[in-house]
Amino acid sequence: MEENTNNNFGEENKVESTPMPVKKSKTNNWKISTFVLGLLLILSLAFGNLSLISISGNAVANDAVDFINTELLQGQAEATLEDTQSEKGIVATISIMGQETPVFITNDGETMYLQAIPLKEALPTDNQQEAPAQEAPVATVSVKSDKPTVELFIMSHCPYGTQVEKGILPVTKTLGDKIDFDLKFVYYAMHGEKEAYEQLNQYCIQKEQEDKLSEYLYCFLGSTSGSEAEGAACLDEVGVDKDMLATCFASANTEFDVDVNLADTASWLSGRYPLFDVDKVDNEKYAVGGSPTLVINGESVNSGRDSASLLKAICSSFNVAPEECNTVFEEGSPSPGFGWETSAQNNAAAAGCGV
């Protein structure tokens, strides 16, 4: 699920109305199950080079569905064509695993847009109402335990990773030692050296100064851009032992070949992203494909990104839920990226950073 604007060293994964040429390409190597989170993610990956020959609405849409089924889903799920409309172009509504998504295709069958934005209706007028907030998915965990393990895999500069972090921090603070929470990292860094080094800092803080991690993340996630200078200021603000951090940083850098992987461009994933192997074993164990990936009691979970949704998901994994599970959080989802702004829209698992 390659970020449309965030998967190329600083490009952010927003679904933009960017035209995508339609010719055939290779299917992604990682498991299809890790990116069938929604059709937009699949299309942003697949339609970079898909060839659509027919120019009638149904023919173009059916060609698209056939490609998704044969080249991407390969029998593990099925995409179906729900509807097509032709006016200024072809609008095809395609459903995968019950999720319907509209895509826009030009009448000549040459160009596809993942999202059409009507400029005349983009801003509400005095007589219009804003779109209602999206309802966060209600996630439940089938594997129960007395003390759930919660593992959140992110990239430190992925806006959707930071979004979930901002949602889950109040939850981990509320539940405290009633859960085992670990912040972990996706096995490649999409946002360059700054991301690899920041993740080493966070890895070491969690490993050796764990009592400082939450406070540090509150500060770092509240910064303007997650720059090195802002990270350093947060280290000072929360009182991280810099000598201890430096020793751990150097050791982990060597152990996990971070600098080696940054320099060895021949080994970069998809030829674009350096490997980041700090949590390689767990990435392989859970077939982690991108940021964010939430795993509770060993089960990958598709949850909303607001604190209330995350609390419900985690609390569903207790054998007996503690009193803290009755905590009521303020409405609103954290916004993607840095800063503590909130949004009524909860884009849940609809966007992420990944190849």
* pLDDT of 345: 57
Q: What predicted TM-score, i.e. pTM, was given to this entire model?
A: 0.64
Ordered by where they begin, the domains of the chain are 19-115 (no CATH), 149-354 (3.40.30.10)
Round to whole Å and give the CA distance between 154 and 164. 9
Strands 149-154 and 111-113: unpaired
* pLDDT of 144: 96
* pLDDT of 195: 97
Q: In what order do the strands lie in the sheet with 149-154?
A: 180-185, 149-154, 293-296, 299-301
Low-confidence ranges of the chain (pLDDT < 70): 1-61, 65, 67-78, 81-138, 344-350
Round to whole Å and give the CA distance between 206 and 279. 13
Grouping H, G, I as helix, E, B as strand and the rest as coil, residue 5 is strand
Dihedral angle over CA of 99, 100, 102, 103, nearest 10: 50
**DSSP-assigned beta bridge partners for residue 95:** 80, 100
* pLDDT of 58: 62
CA distances from 236 to 204, 222, 241 (A): 15, 15, 9
Q: Are 160 and 353 in contact (CB under 8 A)?
A: yes
- Residues 211-262 pLDDT 10s: 999 999 999 999 999 999 999 999 999 999 999 999 999 999 999 999 999 9
Contacts of 309 (CB under 8 A, 6+ apart): 136, 137, 138, 139, 167, 303, 346, 348
Contacts of 329 (CB under 8 A, 6+ apart): 170, 306, 307, 308, 311
User: What is the Cα gyration radius of the chain?
Assistant: 21
